[in-house]
Amino acid sequence: MLSALEVDETLSSEDFRWLSSFFENRTGIALKGDKEALVRGRLLSRARALGHSSLTTYVGFARSGAGVDEQTAIVEALTTHETSFFREPAHFEVLRQFASQQPKPLRVWSAACSTGEEAASIAMTLAEVDPSLSFEVVGTDIAPETVRRARDGLFPMERSVQLSPERLRRHCLRGTREAEGTFRLQPALAARVRFEVANLFELPASLGRFDVVFLRNVLIYFNDGRRRQVVKAVLEHLKPRGLLLPGHAEQVRDASADLKSIAVAVFRYEPSP
């Protein structure tokens, strides 16, 4: 007999098919059969938190009209949010050089921004080009709770090892009292970064256009058709001669002949007149 804290972990093939179909329709990411254990593990805590005795009843609830809000939580739970400060550092040197040569102000987009480390790294880089530089950094992610954490702007102190002592001193504040064990961007720098919930397959026109787009370590989760669809949608928000920076293992050239390779994983957008 199950105790109040135990949840039957059985996930039927029908429930997994529904979860896979729902998640792919919402995010464009396909969950194959070898992801069943991952899905089961990530949803157990949600089932437990809502008082369900089994994954079967939890999925049934999520599929019902009463579970519409829980569907957002499922997307949050099943989306991978791996990130770090100055990940793939060569891209930030590219950004530094680009920013020093372009008309101002600059707009830079951190797509699939997760909890905000990439957007913060972009802001630090631009501030180092010129303290008076006019710029805006926009981070977007599909998961509302992840975006909320990015907006809070508090990073675990253990992540500070990813930054040089000089960057920590110049750009960050250490948390005190209730924020002990965390750090954040200096207020003046944080004010130039904003975060929005956005689906890469349903980008709002209000997002505007950017000089540089970081689209890194997200395309690997899509099949070829959806990957090309995302790249084309993102290019609608990139200014002519702007830069697209995908992950080093990600293909974008087959999505548009208007992307010109200028370095490893660095592309300039040159649309035809």
Tokens of 244: 């697209």
Point out the catalytic residue in the list 40, 42, 63, 159. Answer: 42
pLDDT in tens, 136-192: 999 999 999 999 999 999 999 999 999 999 999 999 999 888 889 999 999 999 999
Distance CA 142, CA 137 (A): 17
Right CATH for 90-269 from 3.40.50.150, 3.40.50.2300, 3.40.1410.10, 3.40.50.300: 3.40.50.150
- Topology (CATH) of 13-78: Chemotaxis Receptor Methyltransferase Cher; domain 1 (1.10.155)
Active site residue 130: no
Active site residue 141: yes
pLDDT confidence of residue 267: 98
- 117 close to 123: Cβ distance less than 8 angstroms: no
pLDDT in tens, 191-223: 999 999 999 999 999 999 999 999 999 999 999
Among all chains, which residue has been given the structure tokens 């804290």?
5
Q: Does pLDDT of 4 surpass 60?
A: no
Residue 266, burial from CB neighbour count under 10 angstroms (0-12, 13-18, 19+) = middle
**Ramachandran category for residue 218: left, alpha or beta (phi over 0 → left; psi -120 to 50 → alpha):** alpha
Q: Does pLDDT of 73 surpass 80?
A: yes
pLDDT in tens, 79-114: 888 899 999 999 999 999 999 998 789 999 999 999
Point out the catalytic residue in the list 15, 141, 167, 211. Answer: 141
Residue-level length of the chain: 273
pLDDT confidence of residue 35: 85
pLDDT confidence of residue 17: 92
pLDDT confidence of residue 1: 37
Half-sphere exposure of 45 (CA within 13 A, CB side): 8
Query: Hey, where are the domains in the chain?
Result: 13-78, 90-269
Q: Does pLDDT of 123 surpass 70?
A: yes
pLDDT confidence of residue 30: 85
pLDDT in tens, 24-61: 999 998 888 788 998 999 999 899 989 998 999 999 99
